[in-house]
Structure 1
Amino acid sequence: MKPVSKLLLLSLLFVLPGVFAQTPQAIPDPPAVAAKGYLLIDFNSGQILAEKNADERLEPASLTKIMTGYVVFRELAAGKIALGDQVLISERAWRTGGSKMFVEVGKQVSIQDLLMGMIVQSGNDASVALAEHVAGSVEAFADLMNANAQRLGMTNSHFTNPHGLPDPELYITARDIALVAMAIVREFPEFYGWYSTREFTFNEITQHNRNPLLRRDESADGIKTGYTQAAGYCLVSSAKRNDMRLISVVMGSPTPNARADASLALMNYGFRYYESHLLYPADEPVESFRVWKGDQEWLPVGPVSDVFATFPRGRYAELAARLEKAEANLTAPIASGTPVGEVIVTFDGAEINRLPLIGLAGIEKGNLWQIARDSVLGLFQSQ
């Protein structure tokens, strides 16, 4: 195998020409914000930049609707429902308390309007109508929410309804809700744009998006506010500046202004003191691994998804990468897409990212001569 570490380090140097001209700076502690729990994460790399009580179970209020939206988007993507489908509004949906888009019992409303009513107007009535249409009942829809939460790795969350009104068995963590927020941005860009809609009119009633960052930060484009007396004021926000996107989760702030100030302070901290870069695109070769007893000797390998690194500004020199093979000797046949190792990114000697490496081509079993030759070479290699 070729000398991997030298190859990778040299390729990193060419990703960001001139980066060494920056002067390293000390990273201050994250800002002190008024919240029971918070999390600041880089969307591309998954690197946590700041957190407090991120794994504490807290009441989500209307942050619950982020998961509701995700479940509905998956149903749309699977072709099980369509945006134009008409939903008959039940008495249960109409009677649901809290924030409303003001649907009327017995009327029909499109799924698209209900989604806009939930996303922009935070309509609890819209959330119930969507849940009943997708799953038949609120309770069955909650089962879908929990199944998707488990699939996304939200191990400390549990859902009982689609709107977030208080329930003893309804809870999330800041870390978990960030996972589903990032999943929406990543999986459903065609729907994510709705989260930056400033206002929506339904039934001749115009309501404005409750997200204050849409008015205070031009780079912000989502995602959702929440409030109940028990949960306090909550906000999951997302912003993109240049090629860097950050997600912040603020839960349990004492006032609406406090949650907005906390979210903006965390965003400004992350963008000011950190940078994020694509190191290796998905499905592009970064090295070739020797394969034994195959019709080809070398297998091009690359990451299964884009490899990003997020690190303090001006400290690129402390970034390094290496490859690790899954097995000492790879033996044919190997199908294209087979995991064959990992790419590991470190900063200042500490691991910050790790992604699977896959074979970018298929190698068939060799002929008798190729197998015999490699068997002999293998004997010498093992001595």
Structure 2
Amino acid sequence: MCAGQSFGATTYNIKPAQTGTVKVTTSTTYANKPSLTADAAIAYCGETGQVLYGKNINKKMDPYSITKMMTCYVVMKYVDKGKISLDDTVTVSKYAAKQMESKLYLLVGEKIKVRYLIYGALLHSGNDAAAALGEAVGGDTKSFAKIMNKEAAALGCTNTHFVNANGVKVSGHYTTAHDMALILQAATKYEFIQKVCQTKLYKIPEDNLSDAFYVRTTNPFFYKDKKIKKPYLTYNIIAGKTGTWDSGSATLIEAFRFNGRTIYTVVLGDTSAKRYSDTVDLIAYGRRALSSIALTESNDSASGIEKEATNQSWFAKVIDKVFPDSVYEFFYGSTKIEMVKGLTGEVTSGSKVNISWRPVSGVDGYKVYRSTGGSYKLIKKIKSADTSSYTDPNSQSDHTYYYMVKTYSFKDGLFN
């Protein structure tokens, strides 16, 4: 995890190239990071662990209602463990019913399913719904907060502490942009959470005490913005959640897909008027700065046998020319080569290019080749099967590079 890493003057663009290779273009097409109103913000690529943009990412701040994403994550974990079901019925307590706005106005003794409470918590941001979920899992708010903190720590959150399930402002309840990105990443791995967050309007059916009613998302990306009719489609949003204490104290988290990657954005200490535009700027910057893309994984034409003798004797040349390859290999040996799989490329900092691939067991090592558009040249021989990445120290800004990586396995010959 590249905590605190951000990119300013040097940016990059990565596109698919020929099969089994990675094309990386370093450029200086934009120089300035977005200027945000938020006191803290992050754009984080889940697949690569890169901080594409960072501003005070480790500053402890009030999360407000984005706390509910953590609450629903914990609930889904308990669903996975079989300790609770989405169709279990929760009886609303006096504590849950008396929560301040925003709320669903649940009644004491009301019996409502877990799945409906999740819709109410994530869409309408119901404080009573989140409190009821917390009690359903933990028995009471204090016990549930302990579970939340334990799960947050397990995700790698180091500057987060929860006191309640809904984010109502209270001393000792805080998180950071960095930690919240990790929480959002974990929560959105659940398809049900994605499904809920991608719903604009949902009908909660009647129960023992209440008639059916609708809940509507508070996520601004689901409402028309100027000329963009459906921002959530334009920006490929897969999940998000607002947090609001007042007009000057607001938060927003979003997860969106781009180029086969998921980027998580968080703004804390923002205003309700600016959190949407700040997030749009983060999305635009994250799209430009996204540093890696998975490529086609094989190229059979680039696999085969390399003859190991480079300075051939006259006898070796005769053997090579007259006899089949098997005879040459008997005398001089060979090296079996195969294209690696899962090859990706990224600009790690400045203009340095890092490539990585899936490690291959049972080989002697890897050969890294580079091209600027013509023939490939061997730039690095890695003598270990356990090493599956390489940083090119000679890459420069405003250049396009093609990289190819092969495994090699020695086969000894009679004379070699």
Q: Give the greater-gyration-radius structure (CA).
A: 2
TM-score by length of 2: 0.65
1:208 aligns with 2:211: no
How far apart in 2 are the matches of 1:178 and 1:160?
Answer: 19
Displacement after TM superposition at 1:348 (Å): 5.8
**Correspondences of 1:180-329 after superposition (within 5 Å):** 180-186=183-189, 188-202=190-204, 203-215=211-223, 216-218=231-233, 219-229=236-246, 232-254=249-271, 256-278=272-294, 309-311=345-347, 318-321=353-356
In 2, Cα distance between equivalents of 1:345 and 1:279: 17
Alpha carbons of 1:307 and 1:341: their partners in 2 closer, same or farther (altered >3 Å)? same
Runs of 4 or more above 6 Å deviation: 322-325
Distance 1:110 1:321, change over 3 A: closer
CA contact (8 A) 2:188 2:239 kept: no
Gaps of 5+ in 1: 1-11, 282-299, 330-339, 351-383
Report the CA distance shift for 1:68/1:308 in structure 2 as closer, same or farther (over 3 A).
farther
What is the DSSP-based 3-state SS (H/G/I as helix, E as strand, rest coil) of the residue aligned with 1:318? strand
Could you tell me which runs of 5 or more consecutive residues in structure 2 were left unpaired when the two chains were aligned. 1-16, 205-210, 224-230, 298-337, 365-384, 396-416
Query: What secondary structure does 1:276 align onto?
Result: coil
State percent identity of aligned pairs. 27
Q: What residue is the counterpart of 1:41 in the other structure? A: 44
Structure number with higher helix proportion:
1
| Aligned residue type for 1:114 | L
- Cα deviation for residue 104 of structure 1 reads 1.6
171 and 345 in structure 1: CA distance in 2 versus 1, 3 angstrom threshold: farther
C-alpha deviation, 1:308, in angstroms: 5.7
> In 1, are the aligned partners of 2:19 and 2:296 still within 8 Å (CA)?
no
| 1:155-184 Cα distance to aligned partner (Å, 9 max, x none) | 100011000011111000000010010112
1:74 counterpart = 2:77: yes
Question: What secondary structure, in the 3-state scheme, does the structure 1 residue paired with 2:119 have?
Answer: helix
Q: Which amino acid aligns with 2:52?
A: L
Aligned pairs, how many?
307
Aligned-residue CA RMSD in angstroms? 3.6
Q: CA deviation at 1:43?
A: 2.2
CA distance in structure 2 between the aligned counterparts of 1:280 and 1:177, rounded to whole angstroms: 33
**Separation in 1, partners of 2:159, 2:81:** 27
CA distance in 1, matches of 2:392, 2:212: 55
Range with greater deviation from structure 2 (70-79 or 213-222): 213-222
Q: Contact 2:346/2:353 (CA < 8 Å) preserved in 1?
A: no
User: Residue by residue, what CA displacement relative to the aligned partner does 1:268-304 show, whole Å, maximum 9, x if unpaired?
Assistant: 12113434312698xxxxxxxxxxxxxxxxxx9x99x
Matched residue type, 1:344: S
Partner-residue secondary structure (3-state), 1:278: coil
Q: Is residue 58–residue 231 contact of structure 1 (8 Å, CA) maintained in 2?
A: no
Letter of the structure 1 residue corresponding to residue 178 of structure 2: R
CA change 1:349–1:32 in 2 (3 A) is farther
The answer to whether the 8 Å contact 1:93/1:128 transfers is yes
Distance, in Å, in 2 between the alignment partners of 1:141 and 1:109 is 19
1:156 is the counterpart of 2:156: no
CA-to-aligned-CA distance 1:226-284 (integer Å, 9 cap, x gap): 01149811100111134232111011112x23000000111012113434312698xxx
Decide which of 143, 159, 164 is 1:140's aligned counterpart: 143
Alpha-carbon deviation of 1:324? Answer: 9.7
